[in-house]
Structure 1
Amino acid sequence: MVPIVERTTQAARQRLSSVLVAPAPQAVDEAWRRFSRRWPATDLATPPAGSGLRPVRGDYGAPVVGHLLDYIRFGTDFGRERYERYGPVTWMGAFGTRIATVAGPEATQLVLTNKDKAFSQAGWAFLIDQFFHRGLMLLDFDEHKMHRRIMQQAFTRDRLAGYTQQVAPCVRASVPTWPTDRPVRLYWLLKHLTLDIATQVFMGGRGGSTDTEQINQAFVATVRAASALVRAPLPGTRWRAGVRGRRVLEDYFAQHLPAARASTSEDLFAALCHATTPEGERFSDDDVINHMIFLMMAAHDTSTITTTAAAYYLATHPEWQDRARQESLALGDAPPDIDALESLDTLDRIIKEALRLLAPVPLVMRKTVTDTDLLGHYLPADTLVALAPAINHFVPECWTEPDTFDPDRFAADRREDQTHRFAWIPFGGGVHKCIGMHFGTLEVKAILHEMLRSYRWSVPDGYRIRWDNTSLPVPADGLPVHLTPR
């Protein structure tokens, strides 16, 4: 059963489309953009008298749903339009509440460095606490510092080298077996592969093939539940599916926890069980389960999205595909270790550019814990704040022709990413910067390296990918590609 609010919003979009005669997709998009701009601008809150602060301007959007559907359909393009219209600090409606939105390098730096501790992780709790309870990203201040200090023991360079040795055989056993006699939906091939990698590297192979599909479905349900319009576990809602998915994941990791505690293997699960700081701090069983649920989701979802985006741009820019392939072939046939993967400079630039054009986590949530001043704008306490770091990746002050795929902008003689400390932040910034960013990059490199060795690939003539932003950005059609064996 589809909830009444979701049925209502679907019907509204269908009526909008029906007023057009045989509309092309871009015509529907433009009509929807005009529809989203019809709402009058108002103030988020009135600044205190005599403060000299300006109010945050914005608009709620459509009744109840606000601008949620606009964001789901247009993603970063929607955010860029509002950034140009309202500036780096604005507000919008979604989920029945007002959310301040922050973009641009300067405003982003102020929030993420958080020198006055005015911003807490409670913004993430609003969206995902039901599904990723007490994951590292949801913890605050001293507690976060302590948990991160323990977890860092599982992400030392020696550990990363060991994880990489486990990734390469898994990739080599899978990628060369992909179908070449028909077009494939690449996103789904990659999603199954990255979950297999996570099961091997993070779980040490614990859990069978039957578990893999169930766990994959549970992760999909928990991630998609974050943007549910109906935020209660009613029958037929994404929220209820997410709550059930969380229970599946808790049971799964609890079942395998004793074996991980007793293990001396090199997988992440065992590493978290045994991680100990010099001061003797360790994780409880509940801590390990909470962190494993969050890390498994973050690892295989963001790696899948990044690999998909990079593969798409390589398909549409075959000259870059050839350039990267030459570098991969020069490594020889041995499975690449950490040093070999880090030597792939062309592929490194391609991945960075793909991360710029499609940040796998385009929004970062916070909540104000006190009244605060952001670039001269008044933000009252208890305000939800959505940072949009993906918008920073397109500001013309930092990037030359920002809509163009140009990996050489990351070359040593250009380094456009260094025009501002917060110009390029696909992994976040400040004390909450992604702890697994190095492993994620190595994993994406390992997959693309094997794809380049095994295939040439292309997309249909005139094809342009459309990203579905219901949760994290995924290709709406799964990204159809044709793989040609080398």
Structure 2
Amino acid sequence: MRVRPPDPAWGQALGPPFPPLTSIPLPRAVDRRLLNQRWPVRELAPPPPGSGLKPVLGDAGAPLVGHTLDSMRFGVDFALSRYEKYGPVSWVGAFGQRFVLLGGPDATQVALVNKDKAFSQDGWRHFLDAFFHRGLMLLDFEEHHLHRRIMQEAFTRDRLAGYVRQFGPVLRERVAGWSGRPRLYWALKGLTLDVATQVFMGMRSSAGAAAINRAFVDSVRAPTALVRFPVPGGRWAAGLAGRRLLERYFRANLPAKRSAGGDDLFSALCQAAGDDGERFSDDDVVNHMIFVMMAAHETTTITSTAAAYHLAKHPEWQERAREESLALSDDLPGLDALNRLETLDLVIKESLRLTAPVPSLARRAVTDTEVLGHYLPAGTLVSVSPNVNHYAPEYWTAPRRFDPGRFAEGRREDKSHRYAWMPFGGGAHKCVGLYFGMFEVKALLHEMLRTWRWSVPGTYRIRWDYVSLPVPVDGLPVQLAAVYRGSRGFHQV
């Protein structure tokens, strides 16, 4: 029996609205031909005379759509093919624009450290502002620093411990209710949305929660719509409607959160104050809640799905992780207990390397600047690619191989460069909720390990759809078998 969502509306909220691009079966030879299609190489812009800078080389791709469909279909392979062809700095046509692609740790460091403040978050605003207006990731410089400092009060260790206490019972109850052959991505998606609405918003499962969850899903899908206009029935229109619903909900509930407080993130943002007593306005709270809710459940779903897939493909790592989980007491784990799950820590980090939850980071050059000797004129849209960094053979041993041991003490391949491993971004905009996300993924996988042994056929290979953030094309079907724990250990039943 497949996992069912807790409300009938969930089926509509979570199911894909159309067959994803990557589900279209094509022969491998055709795939390779599409990926390696040659287009005329041109300069992005001529460097200023006497500057000594090199032009950025690249190509526009197919008329009108550019390389939009290639990037959606091929994901990691597309990013690596551009890196291999053009090097760490190149340009590409996509979404009706020209983007400079920065691949590799050195180029990444220039943009993310941004010591000259040459790059702004306007690259993100180009895609996200209509749906996640003034979310933390879309703010720049001093304003971003102020908002981040206030928001950090919602992610202190005491707050994190409280969030873990809240989501523990939700994870245990829901995971125990699975059975048969679920499509794991959608089961995890429903679960992380439920955690987000309960822990972040203090909202219990109901028909109203299902509508909120659907609004988030629609808002996430909308930014990469090819038709960026509110055509009835289109993704852009659905995203705008989702944004309006979320604004109404948060504004209606904000006065109560201001006055009564609580343990959820919504309350925490209403009460948070900076070092000098600065507080978020009502508009700030609404904007940050919409953005943080999206970021929290999307990245957690992707990471837990990737880790579960690799544990299914590598049962020796699943058993090793299970031994550590079963060594804990039957109590719901707190922060200290979760920190003792060292095998899961390695597996999660390697899964984040192989499938970055956010496969590109957008910026815009606000002034004429250069990256590794290449000239970028003011106004250039920039895309930083964690995927390239995570697979660069000069920093990783056998980069396409699942090898959690590369993160263990004594190896620590992630220390080969500050930006070799960057699933949470970097610089001033590094994810403020990264510890919350890691604890939630660990707690979720811990509950899976103590309850289920899961598997996939030996020939099965996951394929990710990059139309928006990474989603497995088939939802990742797995076979579940219960884990029985008796006085002589545990075994499958």
TM range (shorter): over 0.9
Q: Does 1:321 align with 2:348?
A: no
Aligned residues: 463
Match for 2:415 among 407, 418, 425?
418
Q: Secondary structure at the match of 1:480?
A: coil
- Structure-2 change in CA distance of 1:79 and 1:393 (3 Å): same
Return the letter of the residue paired with 2:186. W
Q: Distance in 2 between matches of 1:278 and 1:96?
A: 43
In the other structure, the counterpart of 2:32 is: 30
- Structure-2 change in CA distance of 1:362 and 1:337 (3 Å): same
In the other structure, the counterpart of 2:97 is: 97
Offset, 1:353? 0.1
Offset, 1:31? 3.3
Q: Secondary structure at the match of 2:478?
A: strand
Q: Does 1:190 align with 2:188?
A: yes
Q: Does 1:41 align with 2:55?
A: no
Match for 1:475 among 469, 472, 476?
472
Offset, 1:360? 0.1
Q: Deviations over 1:4-33 (max 9, x none)?
A: xxxxxx9xx99xx9xxxxx86423422322
In the other structure, the counterpart of 2:146 is: 146
| 8 Å contact from structure 2 (residues 99, 381) kept in 1 | yes
Offset, 1:460? 2.5
Task: After TM superposition, list the pairs within 5 Å mapping 1:172-191 onto structure 2.
Answer: 172-180=172-180, 183-191=181-189
Q: Does 1:88 align with 2:88?
A: yes
Return the letter of the residue paired with 1:385. V
Return the letter of the residue paired with 1:197. V
Q: Distance in 2 between matches of 1:218 and 1:199?
A: 12
Q: Deviations over 1:116-168 (max 9, x none)?
A: 00000000000110000000000000100010011011111111111111111
| 8 Å contact from structure 2 (residues 79, 388) kept in 1 | yes
Q: Deviations over 1:354-403 (max 9, x none)?
A: 00000000100000000001100000000000110121011111100000
In the other structure, the counterpart of 1:395 is: 392
Match for 2:261 among 264, 274, 281?
264
Q: Secondary structure at the match of 2:174?
A: helix
Q: Secondary structure at the match of 2:210?
A: helix
Q: Secondary structure at the match of 1:102?
A: strand
Q: Deviations over 1:229-279 (max 9, x none)?
A: 111212232111111111111112112212211223211100000001230
Tell me the TM-score normalized by structure 1: 0.93
| 8 Å contact from structure 1 (residues 40, 59) kept in 2 | yes
| 8 Å contact from structure 2 (residues 299, 358) kept in 1 | yes
| 8 Å contact from structure 1 (residues 349, 408) kept in 2 | yes
- Structure-2 change in CA distance of 1:325 and 1:25 (3 Å): farther
In the other structure, the counterpart of 2:228 is: 231
Q: Distance in 2 between matches of 1:335 and 1:217?
A: 29
Task: After TM superposition, list the pairs within 5 Å mapping 1:265-414 onto structure 2.
Answer: 265-414=262-411
Offset, 1:214? 1.4
Return the letter of the residue paired with 2:45. A
Q: Does 1:113 align with 2:113?
A: yes
Q: Distance in 1 between matches of 2:238 and 2:28?
A: 33
In the other structure, the counterpart of 2:430 is: 433
Match for 1:212 among 195, 199, 209?
209
Structure 2 stretches lacking a partner, 5+ long? 1-17, 484-493
Q: Secondary structure at the match of 2:391?
A: coil
Q: Secondary structure at the match of 1:485?
A: strand
Structure 1 stretches lacking a partner, 5+ long? 1-9, 18-22
In the other structure, the counterpart of 1:3 is: none
Return the letter of the residue paired with 2:435. H
| 8 Å contact from structure 2 (residues 405, 411) kept in 1 | yes
Q: Distance in 2 between matches of 1:141 and 1:327?
A: 43
Q: Distance in 2 between matches of 1:28 and 1:195?
A: 38
Q: Distance in 1 between matches of 2:76 and 2:141?
A: 29
| 8 Å contact from structure 2 (residues 313, 458) kept in 1 | no
Q: Distance in 2 between matches of 1:209 and 1:408?
A: 42
| 8 Å contact from structure 2 (residues 194, 205) kept in 1 | no
Q: Distance in 1 between matches of 2:204 and 2:198?
A: 9
Q: Distance in 1 between matches of 2:462 and 2:98?
A: 31
Tell me the TM-score normalized by structure 2: 0.92
Identity of aligned residues (%): 63
Q: Secondary structure at the match of 1:367?
A: strand
In the other structure, the counterpart of 2:489 is: none
Greater Cα offset, 72-81 or 215-224: 215-224
| 8 Å contact from structure 1 (residues 195, 212) kept in 2 | no
Q: Distance in 2 between matches of 1:273 and 1:264?
A: 8
Q: Does 1:170 align with 2:158?
A: no
In the other structure, the counterpart of 1:243 is: 240
Q: Secondary structure at the match of 1:393?
A: helix
Greater Cα offset, 86-95 or 235-244: 235-244
Offset, 1:38? 2.3
| 8 Å contact from structure 2 (residues 198, 204) kept in 1 | no
Q: Secondary structure at the match of 1:126?
A: helix
Return the letter of the residue paired with 2:197. T
| 8 Å contact from structure 1 (residues 161, 337) kept in 2 | yes
